[in-house]
Structures are given as C-alpha cells and as structure tokens.
C-alpha cells in the first residue's frame, strides 16, 4: 500500500511543481538522467545475480517477452497502415509493451497471493521485464528515434547504454555465482529505491490535462492494448491453449494486467518518442489500471 500511495503523491507533486516558475524547464530531463544512468543499473546489479533459473519457471518469465513482441508487431502494423510517424509508433510499442511488474506489481501480488506469489512476481520482473527492457526495449527505442535506421549506430547505443552494460555484468555475476559485498548491495538497493519517486516526479512535471490534445485517441489505443489485450493474450495462451491452471499462472496473468511500466516510458521519452504521450500513458494508465485489475483478478481466480 505504501508503494501505491507514494506513486500518487509523487505524481501529484510533479503536477504541482509545474506552477513553480523558477523551476528549470528541463528538470524532468535531469530526473530521467538519474533514473536511467544510476537507478536502473543499480537495480540490475542488485537483483539479477540472485536469480535462480529453472525450466519450470518459464511461464512467468515469458510474460513480458510475449507482450512486448506482440506489442511491436501490433503497433508497427497499425503504424504502417495509418501512416503514423516512427516516433509515435515507437512510443506506443514502448509504453504499451511493458507492465509495471515491480513497483505496482510486487505489493499488489504480495497482498493477493502472499510471499509465494511475490517470488513468482520477481521472476516476471527480473529475467522477464528487466531483461526485455535492457535488450529489445533499448533496440526499439533507438530504432524508432531515427527517421532512418543505421545498424552500427543502433548497436553502439545498445552496447554503451548504462543499464545494458550493468545487465551484462550482472548476468556474468549470476553465471559465476558471484555477488557484491553486503555493503555494496545495500548501496545499490538504496540507489535503486529512489527510481520510482523520481520517475513519477518526472511524469508529473510533463503531464498535461488538455482535452483538445491530439494524443488522446492514441492514449486510448495504447491503454486498451496494455490493460485489456495484453492480459487477454496471456490468458488465452496459458489457460485456453496450453491448459495451465496454477497459482503461477494466476500471478503471471495479474502481472500482465498491470499499468504501463514507468522505466520504459522514461527511456522512450529520453529518446524523443513523443514524451507527452509517454507521460499520459503513465499518468492515466496507473489509476485506470486499478479498475481493470479487478476484472482480471476475478478472471485469475477462475483459473483454479
């Protein structure tokens, strides 16, 4: 509950700070810089070395790989059909393709399914969401930020992207069963813990409630995919097609139904992929998700 309250407090504070004239106009960019270059790498170095993988856990791990891949196909096809700009297409792929599986997902899953459910939620988040964001997410953000793609430039941006470097280092640490000293781990955890408050401040600073905004129709489409289609795809694939019925599948479905991911929206905005729409996806998506989550919770309970 504390995490959820903190999200709304920081979002509201960011909106209120828009009225402070002395505040630099690029404050949100500075906050984004801290989130991307310090918080995300710290989280990777803290969590990934501790993950124990098993083939039985592929269902929760695959949730984000599936949802992001389908998001890429879905919005790229719509973009070509309706002549959208590359930045608009990339924005929708990035913001609708990732769920907020940790900061929103963890407390909600823990409240609904206990410690056992939380362990499964971590699998959705770390080897799932975080890995996809550090690899395919960075690739898509780079690809769609340019009018024409240059393979060498895209590879360079991915390789030298701080969260990706941290991800690779963390994977090697996991492979060789190495972890940092507890004092370093404590520091990494503390740095990573400020990610969501800073990110929500950034979102609040950019959020505008303009009824005439041209982004509203794309906002509706993006949130429809994220909050309705994504969990529907996971339900159909896991429950109907693969005939899986367990608490692990329940947790996987609920994580798929979470609001848009804050980190992916921050990265998309930092690459110039319609920053205003990125903020709207978060600002409107989080409160709306509490309504849609009720439906998916009942759907998840019907699995067993």
In this structure, what are the phi and psi dihedrals at residue 83, rounded to the nearest 5 degrees?
70, 35
pLDDT at position 109? 86
Rounded distance between C-alpha atoms, residue 292 and residue 210, angstroms: 24
In this structure, what are the phi and psi dihedrals at residue 100, rounded to the nearest 5 degrees?
-80, 75
pLDDT at position 47? 80
pTM above 0.75, yes or no: yes
pLDDT per residue as tens digits for the range 187-211:
998 998 887 788 878 878 877 666 6
Domain ranges of the chain: 28-301
pLDDT at position 241? 95
pLDDT at position 40? 81
Rounded distance between C-alpha atoms, residue 262 and residue 104, angstroms: 10
Class of residue 253 by CB neighbours under 10 A (exposed 0-12, middle 13-18, buried 19+): buried
Question: What tokens appear for 148 in the block?
Answer: 């024409």
Determine whether domain 28-301 maps to CATH 1.20.120. no
- Give me the half-sphere count of Cα atoms (radius 13 Å) on the Cβ side of residue 289: 30
Long-range contacts: 213-220, Cβ < 8 Å, 24+? 213/276, 213/280, 215/274, 215/276, 215/277, 215/280, 218/88, 218/91, 218/92, 218/277, 219/277, 219/280, 219/281, 219/284
The tens place of each residue's pLDDT in the chain, 304 residues long, gives: 676 788 788 888 988 998 888 888 788 888 888 988 898 888 888 887 887 766 767 899 899 999 999 999 999 999 999 999 999 999 999 999 999 887 788 878 877 888 788 778 877 887 788 889 888 998 899 889 865 556 677 677 777 878 788 888 988 998 888 999 999 999 998 998 887 788 878 878 877 666 666 788 899 999 999 999 999 999 999 999 999 989 999 999 999 999 999 889 988 988 899 988 998 898 899 889 989 999 999 999 988 7
pLDDT at position 98? 96
Handedness of CA 256, 258, 263, 264 (dihedral sign): positive
Rounded distance between C-alpha atoms, residue 207 and residue 149, angstroms: 30
Nearest C-alpha neighbor of 98 from the set 265, 221, 270, 233: 265
Rounded distance between C-alpha atoms, residue 15 and residue 192, angstroms: 23
pLDDT per residue as tens digits for the range 51-88:
776 676 789 989 999 999 999 999 999 999 999 999 99
């Amino acid at each position: 509950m504390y995490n959820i309250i903190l999200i709304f407090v920081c979002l509201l504070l960011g909106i209120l700070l828009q009225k402070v004239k002395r505040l630099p106009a690029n404050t949100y960019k500075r906050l984004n810089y801290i989130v991307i270059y310090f918080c995300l790498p710290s989280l990777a170095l803290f969590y990934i070395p501790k993950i124990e993988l098993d083939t039985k856990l592929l269902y929760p791990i695959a949730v984000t790989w599936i949802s992001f891949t389908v998001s890429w196909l879905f919005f790229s096809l719509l973009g070509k059909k309706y002549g959208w700009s590359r930045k608009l297409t990339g924005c929708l792929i990035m913001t609708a393709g990732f769920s907020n599986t940790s900061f929103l997902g963890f407390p909600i899953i823990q409240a609904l399914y206990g410690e056992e459910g939380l362990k499964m939620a971590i699998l959705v988040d770390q080897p799932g969401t975080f890995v996809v964001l550090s690899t395919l997410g960075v690739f898509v953000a780079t690809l769609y930020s340019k009018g024409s793609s240059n393979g060498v430039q895209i590879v360079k941006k991915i390789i030298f992207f701080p969260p990706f470097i941290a991800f690779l280092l963390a994977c090697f640490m996991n492979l060789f069963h190495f972890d940092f000293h507890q004092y370093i781990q404590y520091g990494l955890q503390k740095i990573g813990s400020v990610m969501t408050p800073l990110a929500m401040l950034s979102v609040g600073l950019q959020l505008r409630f303009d009824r005439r905004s041209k982004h509203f129709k794309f906002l509706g489409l993006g949130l429809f995919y994220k909050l309705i289609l994504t969990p529907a795809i996971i339900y159909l694939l896991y429950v109907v097609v693969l005939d899986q019925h367990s608490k692990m599948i329940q947790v996987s479905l609920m994580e798929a139904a979470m609001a848009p991911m804050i980190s992916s929206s921050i990265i998309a905005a930092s690459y110039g992929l319609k920053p205003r729409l990125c903020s709207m996806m978060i600002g409107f998506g989080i409160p709306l998700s509490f309504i849609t989550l009720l439906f998916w919770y009942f759907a998840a309970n019907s699995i067993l």
